[in-house]
Amino acid sequence: MHADMSPEAITSRLRTMDELWLLSQKLMNSKRILNDDEAKRVRAAEIQDSIGQILFRDWDPIGISNDSEWPNDEYDSYIAPVYRILSESRSEDELVHYLFRTEKQTMGMSCEDAELLRPVARKLLALDVSFESAK
């Protein structure tokens, strides 16, 4: 095989290499396009994190959110039941009841008034828990 070594051919190949290098730089700096499964996994993690943050910062029945040595995943086991309510009934009353029941029966806390949990339920209801954002 014989390669064209004329100045025009070499210049053309160098120009092509420059264009390819610029394209590769743009691709490296571009946002990765996710397939549907990856996008759903990312969206699920975002939803779980949003719910977990509200439970940790706003609900916090055992008062650990101000303790920097306590891990902020303390209430992660309650994310799934909260998500089910948010994605199915979207009932403020059901959320309040779930949080109240969890405090009293599961955690053994002495929460006397379920109405105090209504602001937390409203914050949770304000979250977008749909997977439409994943597409």
Same domain, 86 and 106: yes
pLDDT of residue 78: 96
Q: Do both 14 and 44 map to the same domain?
A: no
One domain, residues 48 and 105:
yes
Give the pLDDT band of residue 133 (cuts 50, 70, 90).
Answer: low
| Residues 26 and 90 placed together within one structural domain of the fold | no
Indicate if 91 and 41 belong to the same structural domain.
yes
Distances (CA, A) of 5 to 2, 17, 21: 9, 16, 22
17 shares its domain with 46: no
Confidence check: pLDDT of 1 > 80: no
Mean of pLDDT over the chain:
88
Contacts of 115 (CB under 8 A, 6+ apart): 96
Cα–Cα distance for residue pair 24/29, rounded to 1 Å: 9
Q: pLDDT tens digits for 36-77?
A: 888 899 999 999 999 999 999 999 998 887 777 777 888 999
Same domain, 16 and 61: no
Within this chain, do residues 75 and 126 fall inside the same structural domain, yes or no?
A: yes
Contacts of 40 (CB under 8 A, 6+ apart): 131, 134
Lowest-confidence region among 30-39, 92-101, 120-129: 30-39
The pLDDT tens digits of the residues spanning 102-117 come to: 999 999 987 789 999 9
Within a 10 A sphere around the Cβ of 21, how many other Cβ atoms?
10
Give residue 105's domain range: 36-134
Predicted confidence at residue 121, as pLDDT, reads 97
pLDDT at 25: 83
Q: How far apart, in Å, are the Cα atoms of 2 and each of 9, 14, 97?
A: 12, 18, 80
The verdict on 100 and 48 lying in the same domain is: yes
Q: Look at residue 2 and tell me whether its pLDDT is greater than 80.
A: no
Residues in the chain: 135
Is-contact 108 61, C-beta < 8 A? no
Domains: count for the chain: 2
